Amino acid sequence: MSIRVQEADFDLSTEIAALRQARPELGAVVAFIGLVRDINAGAAVSELMLEHYPAMTQKALESIETQAKQRWDIDEVLVIHRVGRLLPTEQIVLVAVAGAHRGPAFQACEFIMDYLKTQAPFWKKEQTPDGARWVDARSSDDAAAQRWTQDLP
Amino acid sequence: MALTVLYFARLRERLGLAQEGIALQPNLTSVGDLLNYLRARGPQWQAALGDEKVVRVAVNQDLAQNDTHLKDGDEVALFPPVTGG
């Protein structure tokens, strides 16, 4: 189990190589990367500021990983989330899941991402032509997380 | 000993406050009590904290509900719905 919150960018190949190292039993790696878009809610976005609650972030992400591991037969989870100032096209988050088979890895990756978006204490503030604004939470994210409470694997 | 209350993101900016200490009182023993106590400070607080849907609360870094009990030394964080990822 590995969780990192950092300002620096990350390299997918390097991270996956480290996750797989000396693990011949792994048959599948699923990775999701979230990116900063240059448009949101109808406005051009020139920059994002990512704030978080450090003491809680680690605890919340560990709890999400633990739930994923209890629910699916997976071996390794890596979550990297960036904070601070980010520009459009930059990478913002990586969730990688490794296991023996692809099915559980795909599902666990999506579950972790859905829970991260609704339970981990990060907040985005974006710069638009009309000034800075805090990003509003989306009800579609709540719905995405909610479906895991009904849709048992 | 008291509660340490932290404010994040939009709430911190609207209230102009990142952190404060608040003493527990006989009628201030739960998360719901704390929210009512803060809302009673004035229109600015009522406006920022009045809508249950826009305020999330964590006690000692775990998400909490209105009936979550508070004790001396707890760290209580108030923040808007999260928008990471």
- This complex has an ipTM of 0.94
Q: Give the DSSP letter string of B28-71.
A: B-BHHHHHHHHHTT-HHHHHHHS-GGG-EEEETTEE--TT-B--
Question: Kindly report the CA angle at A31 between A42 and A152, in degrees rounded to 5?
Answer: 90
Contact state of B84 with A50 under an 8 Å Cβ cutoff: yes
pLDDT of B53 > 80? The answer is no
The verdict on residue A36 lying in a domain is: yes
- pLDDT tens-digit map of A94-116: 999 999 999 999 999 999 999 99
The pLDDT, as a whole number, for residue A1 is 60
Residue type, A1: M
The answer to whether residues B31 and B65 touch, using CB atoms and an 8 Å cutoff, is yes
Q: Does residue A117 lie in a domain region?
A: yes
Q: Does residue A126 lie within any of the structural domains?
A: yes
Tell me whether B62 touches chain A (CB under 8 Å).
yes
- % of chain B surpassing 90 pLDDT: 93
Tell me if A153 is assigned to some domain: no
Please state, in angstroms and rounded to a whole number, the distance separating the CA atoms of residues A123 and B83.
5
Mean pLDDT estimate for chain A: 95
| Contact assignment for A137 to B8 by CB distance below 8 Å | no
CB < 8 Å to B77, chain A: 53, 56, 121
Write the CATH number for A35: 3.90.1170.40
Hey, what domains does chain B have and what are their CATH numbers?
3-79 (3.10.20.30)
Q: How many domains does chain A have?
A: 1
Range of the domain at A95: 2-148
The pLDDT value recorded for residue A150 is: 79
Which of A60, A113, A125 has its CB closest to that of B85?
Answer: A113
Closest CB to A123 among B9, B58, B75: B9
> Does a structural domain hold residue A14?
yes
